[in-house]
Chain A
Amino acid sequence: MLYALMGLGLSLITGVLNIPNFAHGALFAVGAYFLFSAIHAVGNFWLALVLAPVGVALLGLAIEYAGIRPLYAAGHDYQLLFTFGLSLILSEGIIVVWGPIGFSQLPPPLLRGGFDLGFIFYPKYRLFVMVMAGLLVLATWLFLEKTRYGAIMRAGIESKEMVSLLGIDVHRLFTAAFALGAYLAGIAGALTAPIRGLSPSMGVDMLGIAFVVVALGGLGNLLGAIAAGLIIGVAQAVVALYWTEASVAVIFAIMAAILLVRPQGLFGIR
């Protein structure tokens, strides 16, 4: 479900802005670290969980406005280099601010412990994350599907020229899409923190997976990204049961195998 969240955000950004966002993983990591600091600042997990992703979204807003906007006309090569440089800055910045050693973050007291299901012991917090991520995906989907702004965003994926001809400020649309994508990455990171702990390299690991999800789901295909995120998550969990070391490499192998048969991705049309 977290993969779906990451993939959805990235798919939105790549689809609407048509740029390769290599800072997406770093935004994910920043979300986790923001949560960590926010908990220490406000002393409340729930408030921190609200604040941290908003912080990431604001960061995304600033990045888009200052950095990506001047690059719309430039080629993918420079956009790539920019987001890649940004990802270096953010992940090294994390080390500078929070130190190179990772942290562990406990879930809030309410969600500690787990349910004994008889055959398996399932941690409460994981269940919470699953539900939470599911709700977020649903909310994002409803937003995109049912609201006016969502419709504009989807139209932006289809045809930017047409949208701007209809008198909509495309630049503002781009900024909004980037901020929303950053928000989703940030909250995914924040939710992950109590499960896997925090480490400066957490973003890079996630970045590859997010790209796989987008590639499989089809570029700019939001529903596809959700489905691909679920498939990848389940596949990884299953592989991890039998061959733990290979579970990450297998994701990419699955992607390669699928693309061999369907080069446009599972749900891609283009």
Chain B
Amino acid sequence: MSRAWLAVLAAAVLLPMAVRHALATEIWIFAIFGLGLNLLLGYTGLLSFGQSTFFGAAAYVAGYLLKHYETNVFAALGVGIVVGAVSAALVGYLCVRRSGLYFIMLTFALNQMFYFIAYQWTTVTGGEDGMPGIGRPALLGVDFRNPLAYYVFVAALFLLSLWIMQRIVESPLGKILQAIRENDVRAEAVGYDVPRFKLLAFVIGGAFSGLAGVLYSMLFGIVPLEAIGFVFSGNVLFATLIGGSGSFYGPIIGSFVFIWLSESVSVVWERWPLLLGVAFVIVVLFFRGGCVEAWARFWSWRERRRALAGIAQ
């Protein structure tokens, strides 16, 4: 087991002691969401600005089942993953044939389409008020209404997701996706069906988003309309980028920073999205490359100084 894995495990154990259980749970849920995006952004080079489509769709469908039929938790999660994957397949099918700006605009426009469906279909989704009343049914005698029990469940699912994602990016499939990121023309020339692989990355990313969406709806007991809105897509993108989209563990760090940041600015001022927007702008203008790179830069600067000190002596 690598050092990074040990660090993640330690964080999973220590986090609930440091912050509220709900906040700790949210961090891991957001990290799962970010892992899904990072497969697209970091490994395939696809900038999707519509990840909340899959997150929200899964949250609504699974939330509906949980609310009206008190479905088994695993069934709800399974349904959510499938909904996430299927909606991602639909969106992806339209988008993967385009690249660059077009691709971004399409993922965004389709995100808006799902948003307006959720917004207008009030009998099911509750429209602007959201879909409240989602329970957390007990599983194998464990009562998930206990925040700590639910935290452990989510953290375990996160570790599982992380493991699966690591297997994916290290598999031949992962290598092909990285080849597409580096040079999709060449990948095509070598004989890979690039649009199909991009679609596959979309579907896998959508499945992860779907899982995160269901866990989110169970955490808060409600699916707010924002869960399918484009601001949410922007948030996960921001989290992944500040974590460092080039690195496998980046989304985890990003999720920590983002949830912590939004939690702390939201108590400062009611108009906290403004501060968040300022944070976006500052990061983009001055800290491109994210935390991982900032850390690496700091590290190399320290090493250099040490080396210089050594020479001086």
Contacts and interface: CB of A to CB of B under 8 A. Distances in A.
A92 B271 CA distance: 7
A108 interface: no
A219 B102 contact: yes
A70 B109 contact: no
B245 A77 contact: yes
Given A77-B41, A85-B278, A211-B109, A95 B271 contact: yes
Contacts of A212: 109
A245 B278 contact: no
Interface string A184-216: 000000000000000000001000100110110
Please classify the interface of chain B as helix (H, G, I), strand (E, B), loop, or mixed, using the class held by over half of its residues: helix
Interface residues of A, number: 45
B47 interface: yes
Contacts of A84: 234, 237-238, 277, 280
B109 A81 contact: no
Contacts of B279: 85
A87 B237 contact: no
Interface in B235-293: 237-238, 241, 245, 271, 273-274, 276-281, 283-285, 288
A252 interface: yes
A249 interface: yes
B238 A76 contact: no
Interface string B196-238: 0000000000000000000000000000000000110010011
Please classify the interface of chain A as helix (H, G, I), strand (E, B), loop, or mixed, using the class held by over half of its residues: helix
Interface stretch (B1-9, B74-82, B92-100, B135-143): B92-100
Contacts of A245: 120
A78 to B, nearest CB: 5
Interface string A44-78: 00000000000000000000000100110011111
Interface residues of B, number: 40
B124 interface: no
Interface in B146-198: none
Interface stretch (B54-62, B63-71, B110-118, B295-303): B110-118
A67 B281 contact: yes
A83 to B, nearest CB: 9
A20 B120 CA distance: 27
Interface of A: 14, 18-20, 22, 67, 70-71, 74-78, 80-82, 84-89, 92-93, 95-96, 204, 208, 211-212, 214-215, 219, 245-246, 248-249, 252-253, 255-256, 259-260, 263-264
B49 A80 contact: yes
A164 B45 CA distance: 29
Given A92-B271, A263-B97, A80 B288 contact: no
15 contacts: A67-B281, A77-B41, A81-B241, A81-B284, A85-B276, A88-B231, A88-B234, A88-B280, A204-B230, A208-B108, A248-B116, A252-B113, A256-B110, A260-B94, A263-B94
A89 B274 contact: yes
Nearest to B122: A245
Given A85-B276, A211-B112, A249-B116, 10 more contacts: A19-B101, A20-B49, A71-B284, A81-B284, A86-B281, A88-B273, A88-B274, A96-B274, A211-B105, A215-B109
